[in-house]
Structure 1
C-alpha cells in the first residue's frame, strides 16, 4: 500500500523544474526561480490563466477561490509552493 499524497512524495525540485520548463517553452526565456514573472513582463493576465490550467492538468489540483491570487503565480517557487499545498489537502468530497 502506498500513500499518493504524502509530503515525502512531493518533490519540490522536480515541480520547480517542470514549471520552469513550461514557462521557458511559452516565453522563450528561462526564468530564475525567484524572478517575478509579471514585473519582468514575462507574464500577463492571459498567461496567468495558462499557468492555472497547466498546474491543474499537470498536478491534478484545483486552483480556485483564495488560491487564485497573483502572489501564488509571481514566481516559479511560489507556484511550486501552491502545488505542494494543494496536493497536501484532502480531495474535496473524499470522505463522503
Structure 2
C-alpha cells in the first residue's frame, strides 16, 4: 500500500467506512464526528485500520480529531505520515 495515490487511499477509506456505516454514503469532506457517525469504539477501530492498512504507527500526538474527522482528513494524514517515515507521498 506504500505507493497508493491520494485518490486510491480515499477509495479504501470509503470502503472501510461503508462497511461500518451500513452503506451510508458520506462526502469526502463530511465531518464524521459532528454527524454522529463515529463513536469512541469506532474511532479506535479506525485508527487500528489505518495502522494496519498503511503500515503506519499512529502515536498519541496523531490522535487529534482533525486527523480523522473526514475521508479527506484521513487521506491527508496518511500522506503526511508516510512522508515523515520515508514512505513517499
Q: Does the TM-score normalized on the shorter chain lie above 0.5?
A: yes
> Which structure has the larger Rg?
1
RCO higher in 1 or 2 (8 Å CA, sep ≥ 6)? Answer: 2
Shorter-chain-normalised TM-score: which range? Answer: 0.7 to 0.9
* Match 2:39 to one of 33, 38, 44: 44
Partner of 2:7: 13
CA displacement 1:6-31 (0-9 Å, x = unmatched): xxx44000001100110011111121
- Point out 4+ residue stretches in structure 1 off by more than 4 angstroms: none
**SS in structure 1 at match of 2:85:** coil
- The two structures, once aligned, show a CA RMSD in angstroms of 1.6
Number of residues paired by the alignment? 85
Partner of 1:59: 54
Q: What is the TM-score with the length of structure 2 in the denominator? A: 0.87
Q: What is the TM-score with the length of structure 1 in the denominator? A: 0.81
Q: 1:83 and 2:78 equivalent?
A: yes
